[in-house]
Chain A
Amino acid sequence: MPEKKEYKVIGTRPIRHDGVDKVTGRALYGADFHTAGLLHGRVLRSPHAHARILSIDTSRAEAYPGVKAIVTAKDLPDAADKVADLGEGAVHLKYLCDNILASDKALYKGHAIAAVAATNAHIAEEACALIDVAYEVLPPVLEVRQAMEPAAPLLHETLKTGSLGETAEEPSNVASHLQHKKGDIEAGFAEADVIIEREFVTGTVHQGYIEPHNATALYNPDGQLTVWCSTQGAFTVREQLTEILQYPISKIKVVPMEIGGGFGGKINVYVEPVAALLAKKTGKPVKVLMNRADVFEGTGPTPASFIRVKMGATKDGKLTAAQTHLAFEAGAYPGSPVGAGAMCIFAPYDIANVLIDGYDVVVNKPKSAPYRAPGATNAAFGSETVIDELAKELNIDALEFRIMNGAKEGVKRADGPVFPRIGFIESVEAAKQHPHYTSPNGKKHHGRGVASGFWFNIGLASSVSISVNPDGTINLVEGSTDIGGTRASIAMQAAEVLGIPAESVNPSVVDTNSVGYTAVTGGSRTTFATGYAAYEAAQDVKRQLIARAAKLWEVDEEDVQFADGEFSCINGKEAQLSFHDLSARLGETGGPVVGSAAVNPPGAGGAFATHIVDLEVDEDTGKVQILRYTATQDAGKAIHPSYVEGQIQGGVVQGIGWALNEEYIYNAEGTMTNASFLDYRIPTCLDLPMIDTVIVEVPNPGHPYGVRGVGEVPIVPPPAAIANAIYDAIGIRMTELPMSPDRMLKAMGKI
């Protein structure tokens, strides 16, 4: 159980350890990497959304001055029928390889076809234009319901629907069907006095990190491959490289550079294997950078979806049944987050009868990648809108309705697991009592909406080692790339154990040769799991230092106590040493002290959030202006509250962008027509008010300090909260994302 005590470091707001590097421009991100003899790579991408590749002729490009090498899918090892085990999930190796460089078919506009290494990036780009590719253009499938039609063009002739181990006879674009069932859905609806059923559509959106993907690779003559890149997980890059290149894992070193945002989109590799192939062919270091259009057209969006939700409640306000059909676009290869959406959709509520059907469907769009609580935002847009409608129909306050039906410890989710101690009710109570919710709201065209969200969070493996310096500081070595201040939140947990200030920890994020396996910075796991490893490594240091103090004082280890940064003797002998003073005496007591830990903690503890939004609808332009926003969230225990607030604020604003502006706009040929930051419009600071946050702390029993992951769940409620506020403002239910001015005007009957 979490320690119940006053903390010295946890809960404070120190300056982050990498802060000065990042405000002086000295922090080195992937694209900033430079080394002698560097060549520059550029990827040629398919102009067609769906086409058979008939031939690739690179001869004109090879003859271009300055060109050093060209690679295509032929340079990748044969991947047929192999299964790649990526630790966190197994996938068909052919899919993995084909997404790096297409072998037989281009499956989306922007699909990588070939790559050039040249003496500078301009030459590489010019040479790409000289590669002659013959295509047989095929009709694209661009929408999930269309793709599920039996007569739809097939992306993969061999793909057949899998349903938990059973495979269908006929090929289909439906890669898999999943189902969760609890109770008796028909009986549940029979019990209900009010039933609401609605259909929802969400658009394709991008994670929108500001830093494009990048990778630099170098092959040494001894076969050692080194890759420098910006990634959410150096070890997952190593795993993917070893599978895609069929190359020994011990011969690959991945060096994580600073990373300029990821949100789930920098887990899959794209240019890393390409840089490696070019480096192998040239014997020189090769850097491959994407531009912004490459990022939009060639990397993971999060999928569009079609969602049907039906929920029923008694007139007393008890939810009796919930059913959903979730159809998610996986993009070109199977693997949409429909499974996670299915886990999350009704999780905040205690409902006896639930039926969830999910479909993972391939379409001619980039292979989808995780995006912050993947799948949960799509799902919650449907369920939280229907919850709002039920509450209105029953004339019950929307937050009270959530409290009446809220999941608590011991409630079994539809997908099986039973909740441990969670803070859903507490997050709703905090919203209900917030001055925002109790303030007046009644101006014409102004509306207020609320919505909740759930994300399960993950644990997975993390490793940390700590060495003690003679001046009472420690060096902390970790494998979690720092996307948003986790050097600080991890260091603070070690500091708390050892009774030293956060500033006495020097955290380093190191390469895959220099620390134990550590899973990705994702799943809201880093402060939880790598923090857990730091806690355990610090406990290891503490145990060793107790032994040193015992040696110095010539007493038994049991007679040494450590509290508040002081070692003291408790067998009657007067002796005391601070952590600082003892660290100076390691040489005379046996030499250096290094503590380490590798953990795989199971109790990630789910995260819940509840949001309140006030907005104004401009009847003439259809524009929705956010006026006030408050987000409450159970963080378990906020290690560094400023960065918890920051995660909440950032997630909220991404959710606002998803709700109001962001979408891939495709033409009939399957070309994204808005592949720039001008036309794919993410929120700017001018679009927004301050985002108020309320951190609720219901300690997670699965972590020594009670930490729950916080990063993902704040993106889940905004689209539904905003849709509910729009209904409050103008009496219209919006069921399609984004709720952009044109869709608003259409809904209002103005165009």
Chain B
Amino acid sequence: MARKTHVQTQINGDSVEFLCEARQSLLEVLRDELQLTGAKEGCNNGNCGACSVILDGRLVNSCLVLGVETGGKVVETVEGLAAPDRLHPIQDAFLENAALQCGICTPGFLMSAKALLDNNPNPTEPEVRYWLAGNLCRCTGYDKIVRAVLDAAAAM
């Protein structure tokens, strides 16, 4: 058995401790150790964005971050996006715009869109397309996703 490291971090506002092997990615830790399966594995090499989370305010592919690197950091995942009694405006905009079909890429797009709007509350369409280019969607052709992010920006 590979040796495990104790890691203390903050996830979606909660202090979280876990044990992980040095080779385990943050994605693996979230999904397999903490049962936070909202972040998805589409490629495991940073090309599809389905595992996007926000780490200390910065958008990352969680498959490219090691679990042990997150000690003392702040992690935001799709599970922390909605308030207990209402969805986040980006989530509402995705539903109202029918911006998902199969939904596997949706958590990644939501986190990517949140990171964009946190830094640029009024993006133009080209800015949205540029920012979201790291997230692949095979179902929608992106049209309704781009509209949803623009709508969410207007609503926030």
Contact = CB atoms under 8 A, between A and B. Distances in A.
B18 to A, nearest CB: 15
Interface stretch (A173-181, A414-422, A681-689): A681-689
Interface string B72-89: 000001110110000100
Contacts of B36: 25
Interface stretch (A208-216, A272-280, A330-338, A433-441): A208-216
Contact of A212 (B21, B42, B95, B136): B42
A677 B136 contact: yes
Contacts of A66: 1
A24 B47 contact: no
Contact of B101 (A29, A32, A211, A650): A650
B143 A691 contact: yes
A261 B102 contact: yes
B141 A653 contact: yes
Interface string B3-25: 00000000000000000010100
A443 to B, nearest CB: 20
Interface stretch (A142-150, A349-357, A641-649, A735-743): A641-649
A537 to B, nearest CB: 25
B142 A685 contact: yes
Interface in B75-131: 77-79, 81-82, 87, 91, 94-98, 100-107, 110, 128-130
B138 A261 contact: yes
B47 A678 contact: yes
14 contacts: A23-B78, A23-B106, A24-B91, A210-B42, A210-B50, A640-B98, A645-B144, A650-B138, A650-B140, A653-B141, A654-B141, A684-B142, A685-B146, A688-B143
Contacts of A289: 41
Contacts of A484: 101-102, 139
Given A650-B138, A650-B141, A261 B44 contact: no
Interface of B: 1-2, 21, 23, 31, 35-45, 47-48, 50, 77-79, 81-82, 87, 91, 94-98, 100-107, 110, 128-130, 132-147
A686 B130 contact: yes
B101 A31 contact: no
A485 interface: yes
- Chain B interface secondary structure, helix, strand, loop or mixed? loop
Nearest to A483: B102
A546 B44 CA distance: 56
B146 A210 contact: no
Given A292-B45, A676-B47, 6 more contacts: A25-B37, A211-B42, A258-B104, A650-B140, A677-B42, A685-B133
Contacts of A207: 138
A31 B143 CA distance: 27
A733 interface: no
A245 B128 CA distance: 49
B78 A649 contact: no
Interface string A674-713: 0011100011111010110000000000000000000000
A102 interface: no
Nearest to A485: B101
Contacts of B110: 23
Given A212-B41, A485-B98, A685-B129, A20 B138 contact: no
A260 interface: yes
Interface stretch (A11-19, A379-387, A590-598, A604-612): A11-19
- Chain A interface secondary structure, helix, strand, loop or mixed? loop
Given A32-B37, A649-B143, A677 B138 contact: no
B77 to A, nearest CB: 7
A263 interface: yes
Contacts of B81: 23-25
Contacts of A444: none
A123 B107 CA distance: 29
A646 B144 contact: yes
B95 A19 contact: yes
A289 B137 CA distance: 20
B37 A690 contact: no
Contacts of B43: 291-292, 676-677
Nearest to A33: B37
B40 A122 contact: no
Given A24-B78, A25-B38, A292 B144 contact: no
B139 A31 contact: no
Nearest to B104: A260
Contacts of A29: 37, 40, 104
Contacts of B133: 684-686
A60 interface: no
B48 A210 contact: yes
Contact of B140 (A122, A483, A649): A649
Nearest to B125: A690
A25 B45 contact: no
Contacts of A251: none
Interface in A1-46: 13, 15-16, 18-20, 22-29, 31-32, 34
Contacts of A261: 101-102, 104, 138-139
Contacts of A22: 100, 103, 106
B37 A684 contact: no
A652 interface: yes
A19 B82 CA distance: 13
B138 to A, nearest CB: 5
Contacts of B47: 292, 676-678
Interface in A219-267: 258-263
Across the A-B interface, give the 7 residue pairs with the lowest CB-CB distance, nearest first.
Answer: A25-B38, A260-B104, A649-B141, A653-B141, A22-B103, A484-B101, A642-B98
Nearest to B78: A25
A211 B102 contact: yes
Contact of B105 (A16, A210, A651): A210
B91 A28 contact: no
A161 to B, nearest CB: 36
Nearest to A38: B32
B142 to A, nearest CB: 4
A211 B143 contact: no
A122 B23 contact: yes
A642 B43 CA distance: 29
Given A210-B137, A483-B101, A16 B95 contact: yes
Contacts of A209: 102, 104, 138
Given A31-B40, A292-B42, A210 B141 contact: no
A484 B103 CA distance: 8
Contacts of A676: 43, 45, 47
B94 A643 contact: no
B87 A16 contact: no
A208 B102 CA distance: 13
B91 A23 contact: yes
Nearest to A21: B103
B30 to A, nearest CB: 10
A208 B42 CA distance: 10
Contacts of B44: 291-292
A122 B78 CA distance: 26
A643 B41 CA distance: 25
A210 B104 CA distance: 7
B48 A646 contact: no
A19 B41 CA distance: 20
A15 B96 contact: yes
Nearest to A653: B141
B138 A654 contact: yes
Contacts of A211: 40, 42, 102, 104
Contacts of B79: 24-26
A646 B96 CA distance: 13
B140 A210 contact: no
A260 B35 contact: no
